[in-house]
Amino acid sequence: MNKKRVTGESEKAKKIIAEHKGIIRSSQIRELGIHPRALYRLRDSGELLQLSRGVFCLNDYDTTGNLDLEIVSMRIPKAVICLVSALSYHKLTTQIPHNISIAIPKGMKSPIMDFPPLEVYHFSEIPYEKGIEYHTSNNAKIAVYDREKTIADCFKFRNSIGIDVVIEALKIYRQQDKPDFNKLIEYGRICRVEKIMTPYLEMLS
């Protein structure tokens, strides 16, 4: 291949990735008219890092912050960050998640990723759809359940994550700005844990 053309293709790819805040999926590159070989050429030269299958970033990309969540959101558009991962996002826990917990619609095949490690939960229609917030981090739109839905979900899965984690989250939530206990109870009804939640809410009132 003509060396000038190769250089031009690589520079165009770098410019496009920079315009996307330094991170991009290989499918996006194809849609923008750049051949995937430009990505692999930049990766092999050290100008581009491959974060996960099909996800690339420039070598000066800020890999701190929500990088794991960005990768998951780019790879799995229907994934919603949930449970302990969502508690961590909302600063409602002192736990450090070892996996990224995601909710996907019931019936959807569980995704497999090499990085980051996932813990996948299948939610039925209404529990899956209710309480989703969208946050932008660099070029990724991250879907995460809001604080109240997250706590209700944690009550539902208390046997898996530990009731002590849920109680800690409630205590921290109470101290945060604008706690909405009516909203919390509403999500408790949706998740069918209202009766289980009530004594703990009364204990902290």
| pLDDT score recorded for residue 92 | 97
CA–CA dist 150, 131 (Å, integer): 8
CA distances (Å), 7 to each of 2, 3, 12, 120, 155, in order?
A: 9, 6, 9, 42, 55
* Cα angle 88-162-125, degrees, rounded to a multiple of 5: 70
The model's confidence at residue 2, banded by pLDDT at 50, 70 and 90, is: very low
Specify the pLDDT at position 139: 67
Q: Is the pLDDT of residue 171 over 50?
A: yes
Residues 71, 115 contacting (CB under 8 angstroms): yes
Summarised one tens digit per residue, pLDDT across range 69-101 is 988 988 898 999 999 999 999 999 998 888 999
pLDDT in tens, 181-203: 999 999 999 999 999 999 998 88
174-179 average pLDDT score: 92
Cα separation, 194 vs 201, in Å, equals 10
Looking at residue 180, its pLDDT comes to 93
pLDDT category at 18 given cuts 50, 70, 90 is confident
The more confidently predicted of residues 7 and 182 is: 182
Phi and psi, residue 98, nearest 5°:
-90, -20
Residue 40: the pLDDT is 79
Distance of CA 41 to the CA centre of its chain: 29
Q: Is the pLDDT of residue 6 over 60?
A: no
Give the closest residue to 112 by CA, choosing from 155, 159, 54: 54
Give residue-wise pLDDT tens across range 120-170: 999 999 999 999 999 987 767 899 999 999 999 999 999 999 999 999 999
Does the CA dihedral 133-58-4-53 come out positive or negative? negative
Residue by residue, DSSP assigns the chain as: --HHHHHHHHHHHHHHHHHTTTEEEHHHHHHTT--HHHHHHHHHHTSEEEEETTEEEETT---SSSHHHHHHHHH-TT-EE-HHHHHHHTT--S---SSEEEEEETTSPPP--SSS-EEEEEEPHHHHHTTEEEEEETTEEEEEE-HHHHHHHHHHTHHHH-HHHHHHHHHHHHHSSS--HHHHHHHHHHTT-HHHHHHHHHHH-
What pTM did the predictor assign?
0.76
Q: Round to whole Å and give the CA distance between 19 and 62.
A: 15
CB 171 within 8 A of CB 156: no
In whole angstroms, what is the distance from residue 63 CA to residue 174 CA? 32
